C-alpha cells in the first residue's frame, strides 16, 4: 500500500484524551461519590453506559443542551440539579491529552498516514477541545457526533466518514476503546484496533505493517 493512502482514525475519550469518570465524580461531587464503589454506581446512573437512548447519548447527538441534560439526569437519579450541572461543566477540563497516545499519533504522522478522528462528543465539549488543544491541527479532518447528529456505533456515521474523508475502507484503521464501536467498524470494512493502552496499540500496528518496528 502507498503510505499516503493509509488513513488512521482515532476515537477521543479514553483514547487520545483521558476519561476517568470515577475519579472525576469523586473530585467534583464527593458528597455523592465518597468512595470508588459509590462513584462507579453514580457513573452508571449518570452516563447509562452511553447507550443510544440514554440522556447522555441525546447530549452527544446534539438533541439536548447542558441545561436540559442536567434537569433530566437530576430528576432520574434524584440528585440536585446543581451537582449534576457541576459534573457536566467539569468534563471539558477533565479531558486532558494522554501523552502515550500523543506520541503514537506523532509516529503515525511522521510515517505519512492521513489522520482523522471520529468521536461521540457533544458540541460544547468539541468546541472546548478544539480551542484548548493545538495539536488537533495534525488531523486532516474529524467528525464530532454533536455536530452531525450521528453517533457510533451507527452504520451511518461510518458511511459519513467514508464520504467526508475520502476513505478506502481497506486502507483504513480505526482505534477505539469500545468493543461495540470496533465491531461496527469491522462490519463496515475498516480494520480496527481495540484500545487498551497506547503501547499495546503500537504493537498491533507494527504487527500489521502500519508502523515500522
What are the tens digits of pLDDT across the range 153-172? 999 999 999 999 999 999 99
pLDDT score of 3 more than 60? no
Q: Give the pLDDT of residue 119.
A: 99
Q: Using only C-alpha atoms, what is the Rg of the chain?
A: 18
pLDDT score of 1 more than 60? no
Mean pLDDT over 77-88 rounds to 98
Say yes or no: 154 and 199 in one domain.
Answer: yes
**Containing domain of residue 68, as a range?**
21-94
How far, in Å, CA of 48 to CA of 52, rounded? 10
Query: For the chain, what percent of residues have pLDDT higher than 70?
Result: 98
User: Residue 145's pLDDT band (boundaries 50, 70, 90)?
Assistant: very high
CA distances from 117 to 30, 67, 138, 154, 194 (A): 33, 27, 11, 16, 15
What are the tens digits of pLDDT across the range 56-71? 999 999 999 999 999 9
Say yes or no: 123 and 202 in one domain.
Answer: yes
Instruction: Indicate whether 37 belongs to any domain.
Output: yes
Instruction: Indicate whether 212 belongs to any domain.
Output: no
- What is the enclosing helix (H) or strand (E) of 47? helix 36-47
Say yes or no: 83 and 112 in one domain.
Answer: no
C-alpha closest to that of 97 among 88, 89, 105: 105
pTM of the model: 0.95
CATH of the domain at 108: 3.40.50.1000
Say yes or no: 146 and 173 in one domain.
Answer: yes
* Count of the separate structural domains present in the chain: 2
Say yes or no: 29 and 89 in one domain.
Answer: yes
| Domain final position from 77, 94, 111 | 94
Instruction: Indicate whether 124 belongs to any domain.
Output: yes
User: Residue 5's pLDDT band (boundaries 50, 70, 90)?
Assistant: confident
| Domain final position from 51, 78, 94 | 94
Instruction: Indicate whether 26 belongs to any domain.
Output: yes
C-alpha closest to that of 60 among 16, 106, 139, 125: 125
Amino acid at each position: 500500500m502507498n503510505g499516503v493512502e493509509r488513513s488512521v482514525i482515532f476515537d477521543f475519550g479514553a483514547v487520545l484524551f483521558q476519561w476517568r469518570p470515577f475519579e472525576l465524580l469523586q473530585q467534583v461531587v464527593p458528597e455523592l461519590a465518597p468512595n470508588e464503589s459509590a462513584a462507579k454506581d453514580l457513573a452508571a446512573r449518570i452516563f447509562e453506559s452511553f447507550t443510544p437512548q440514554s440522556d447522555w447519548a441525546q447530549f452527544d447527538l446534539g438533541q439536548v443542551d447542558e441545561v436540559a441534560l442536567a434537569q433530566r439526569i437530576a430528576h432520574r437519579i434524584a440528585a440536585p440539579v446543581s451537582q449534576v450541572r457541576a459534573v457536566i461543566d467539569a468534563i471539558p477540563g477533565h479531558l486532558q491529552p494522554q501523552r502515550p497516545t500523543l506520541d503514537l499519533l506523532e509516529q503515525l504522522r511522521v510515517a505519512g498516514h492521513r489522520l482523522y478522528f471520529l468521536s461521540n462528543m457533544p458540541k460544547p465539549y468539541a468546541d472546548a477541545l478544539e480551542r484548548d488543544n493545538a495539536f488537533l491541527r495534525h488531523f486532516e479532518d474529524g467528525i464530532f457526533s454533536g455536530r452531525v447528529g450521528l453517533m457510533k456505533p451507527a452504520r451511518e456515521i461510518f458511511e459519513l466518514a467514508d464520504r467526508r474523508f475520502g476513505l478506502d475502507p481497506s486502507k483504513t484503521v480505526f482505534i477505539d476503546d469500545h468493543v461495540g464501536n470496533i465491531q461496527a467498524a469491522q462490519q463496515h470494512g475498516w480494520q480496527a484496533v481495540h484500545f487498551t493502552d497506547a503501547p499495546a496499540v503500537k504493537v498491533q500496528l507494527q504487527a500489521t505493517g502500519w508502523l515500522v518496528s
